[in-house]
């Protein structure tokens, strides 16, 4: 009897393993499916939305487990360059945008406030998973994510002081602190498990990452479906704007960094355009909440389409030296 049960259990494990590998192979399509499900199944999106913090923590745990502490830590030189990038991303970019919007007289418009929010925020939690889906090294993205959250309480202060409409500083810092704790705990648990399982099948982990991203994007699209039915033109305008900002920043960052650093520029470039703008939800004034909620919703479209829409930019290219 015992001899019969073991092959059956082994067979189920092999089936699950094969399924995860298949999902990983088509992980980018799972993101599109999640976007469509979030738009067309509002009840399901509303059901998932309260669980988003837990799902994000799970995604961070899986990403940390995939990378391991040694690769995530990197070298001292990479740490210095990471801090410089964070200073550019979270401080120089939003201040530059503020000056430009002030010069154009657009600083008080909902779109300008939303863009400054986005530029002030640290990288989105799924950036490392997006990088892995593109077949590139996710470690630099995870390092920038953790570093960006760690220094966020410092980098956000000048922006909030210069633009009071962005929210109350104490509330934003409190929300930042909570998110930083989640990132540290989830990443720490992932690193600890990797020590216990030093050589996991990365394809299976990528499959789990793709499933987590699929469910997360459904919940994040909860506010877009109703807005699309009531005012589709407004949603389309926001969508065009966020796609231009998101993809434009990624392209510009990659073109600048690809030949100027020994670290793969894919992760930093993805973070340049994909930020955790939802961090500010608890601190926004009520008068600006509604239009910015639409921004946050449509912002998920270019974010979760990054592994597909930007593949032409990030796809690994053959080394011409290797051909000789």
Q: What is the pLDDT of residues 91-100, one digit of tens each?
A: 999 999 999 9
pLDDT of 95:
92
pLDDT of 1:
47
Nearest in space to 64 (alpha carbons), one of 242, 183, 159, 228: 183
| Structural tokens at position 98 | 């503020």
pLDDT of 291:
63
Residue 323 has pLDDT above 50, yes or no: no
Q: What are phi and psi of 258, to 5 degrees?
A: -60, -30
Quick: pLDDT tens for 104-136. Answer: 888 778 888 889 889 998 898 788 889 988 889
pLDDT of 288:
52
Quick: pLDDT tens for 44-65. Answer: 888 888 887 788 788 888 888 8
Q: Regarding predicted confidence, which is higher, 39 or 250?
A: 250
Residue 287 has pLDDT above 60, yes or no: no
72 falls in which pLDDT band (50, 70, 90)?
A: confident
Mean pLDDT over 76-103 rounds to: 87
Residue 35 has pLDDT above 70, yes or no: yes
pLDDT of 133:
86
Q: Name which of 158-162, 164-168, 216-220, 257-261 the model is least confident about.
A: 164-168
Contacts of 287 (CB under 8 A, 6+ apart): none
Residue 174 has pLDDT above 80, yes or no: no
pLDDT of 219:
83
pLDDT of 279:
67
pLDDT of 55:
85
Mean pLDDT over 75-81 rounds to: 65
Q: How high does pLDDT run on average in the chain? A: 81
Q: Regarding predicted confidence, which is higher, 295 or 252?
A: 252
pLDDT of 100:
93
pLDDT of 318:
55
3-state SS, one letter per residue, for the chain = CHHHHHHHHHHHHHHHHHHHHHHHHCHHHHHHHHHHHHHHCHHHHHHHHHHHHHHHHHHHHHHHHHHCHHHHHCCHHHHHHHHHHHHHHHHHHHHHHHHHHHHHCCCCCHHHHHHHHHHHCCECCCHHHHHHHCCCCCHHHHHHHHHHHHHHHHHHHHHHHHCHHHCCHHHHHHHHHHHHHHHHHHHHHHHHHHHHCCCCCHHHHHHHHHHHHHHHHHHHCCCHHHHHHHCHHHHHHHHHHHHHHHHHHHHHHHHHHCCCCCCCCHHHHHHHHCECHHHHHHHCCHHHHHHHHHHHHHHHHHHHHHHHHCHHHHCCCCCHHHHC
Residue 250 has pLDDT above 90, yes or no: yes
Highest mean pLDDT: which range of 41-45, 155-159, 197-201, 281-285: 41-45
pLDDT of 32:
84
Residue 165 has pLDDT above 70, yes or no: no
Q: What percent of the chain has pLDDT over 70?
A: 84
Q: Are 221 and 305 in contact (CB under 8 A)?
A: no
324 falls in which pLDDT band (50, 70, 90)?
A: very low
pLDDT of 142:
85
pLDDT of 243:
95
Q: Please give the domain boundaries of the chain with CATH numbers for all domains.
A: 24-310 (1.20.1530.20)
pLDDT of 156:
81
């Amino acid at each position: 009897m015992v001899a019969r049960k073991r092959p059956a259990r082994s067979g189920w494990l092999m089936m699950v393993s094969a399924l995860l590998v298949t999902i990983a192979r088509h992980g980018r399509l799972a993101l599109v499916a999640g976007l469509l499900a979030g738009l067309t199944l509002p009840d399901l999106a509303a059901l998932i939305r309260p669980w988003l913090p837990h799902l994000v923590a799970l995604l961070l745990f899986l990403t940390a487990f995939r990378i391991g502490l040694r690769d995530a830590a990197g070298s001292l030189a990479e740490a210095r360059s990471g801090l410089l990038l964070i200073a550019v991303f979270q401080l120089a970019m939003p201040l530059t945008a503020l000056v430009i919007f002030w010069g154009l007289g657009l600083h008080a418009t909902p779109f300008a406030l939303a863009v400054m929010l986005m530029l002030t925020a640290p990288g989105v939690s799924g950036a490392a998973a997006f990088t892995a889906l593109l077949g590139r090294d996710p470690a630099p993205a995870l390092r920038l994510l953790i570093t960006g959250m760690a220094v966020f309480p410092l980098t956000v202060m000048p922006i909030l002081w210069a633009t009071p409409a962005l929210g109350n500083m104490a509330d934003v810092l409190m929300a930042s602190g909570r998110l930083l704790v989640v990132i540290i705990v989830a990443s720490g648990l992932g690193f600890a498990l990797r020590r216990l399982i030093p050589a996991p099948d990365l394809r299976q982990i990528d499959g789990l990452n793709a499933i987590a991203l699929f469910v997360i994007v459904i919940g994040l699209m909860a506010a877009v479906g109703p807005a699309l039915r009531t005012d589709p033109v407004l949603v389309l305008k926001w969508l065009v704007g966020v796609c231009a900002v998101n993809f434009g920043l990624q392209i510009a960052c990659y073109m600048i960094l690809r030949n100027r650093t020994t670290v793969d520029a894919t992760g930093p470039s993805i973070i340049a355009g994909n930020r955790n703008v939802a961090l500010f939800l608890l601190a926004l004034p009520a008068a600006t909440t509604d239009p910015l909620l639409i921004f946050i919703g449509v912002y998920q479209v270019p974010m979760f389409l990054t592994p597909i829409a930007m593949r032409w930019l990030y796809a690994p290219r053959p080394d011409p030296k290797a051909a000789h």
